[in-house]
Amino acid sequence: MKKIDVDKIENAFRDILDALGENVKREGLEDTPKRVAQSYGELFSGLFQNPEDVLKRTFEVEKNDLIVEKNIDFYSMCEHHFLPIFGKIDIAYIPNGKIVGFGDIIKVIDILSKRPQIQERLGAQIADAIYETLNCQGVMIIIKAKHMCMTMRGEKRVNSEIITTSYRGVFEDDAVRRMEILSLLK
């Protein structure tokens, strides 16, 4: 199985510091390449995990009532600038005879957000994993996030927030059901 090469990251970051004109041996920076490599190991730990694996343990339900899990914190890294993306994810789904634990949904978010990402793809991947693995009637994902690539550099819009949605199944064609979810999330 492939894994993150922290030694290679450490050496590469040492080269980055050198390219910036920093003394890589000065106090304060001496262990920074190792710390960056270790944090990248954690920040990108979802690269070699399959989100569907955590959705295999299901529970049968008699009724297919709407399930909503909201305000789930997430952190990711923008694949364009390798700067943080962070915010909240709301998930709603209508089961088809089986559900998963709330913690398992959080694990799916962690796996998929711990990869170089764009927000739109993250929402689509979460929706696909839940919809396809659970074979549920429908799933709706809403992500509200801040992108440090927009606040620290470039446009420098500190208060901007990006909102994306992903729908699968019954939510794709049913505006009434989507509105029901949106009203519950307010």
Specify binding-site residues for Zn(2+): 78, 81, 149
Q: What distance, in Å, lies between the first and last C-alpha atoms of the chain?
A: 43
Of residues 74, 93, 95, the one with CA closest to residue 85: 74
DSSP state of 96: S
Binding site as annotated, residues? 78, 81, 149
Sheet with 162-169: strands ordered across = 116-117, 67-78, 84-94, 138-147, 162-169
The dihedral through the CA atoms of 77, 83, 88, 92 has a sign that is negative
Question: Tokens 């799933």 correspond to what residue?
Answer: 139
Is residue 84 a contact partner of residue 76, using CB atoms and an 8 Å limit? Answer: yes
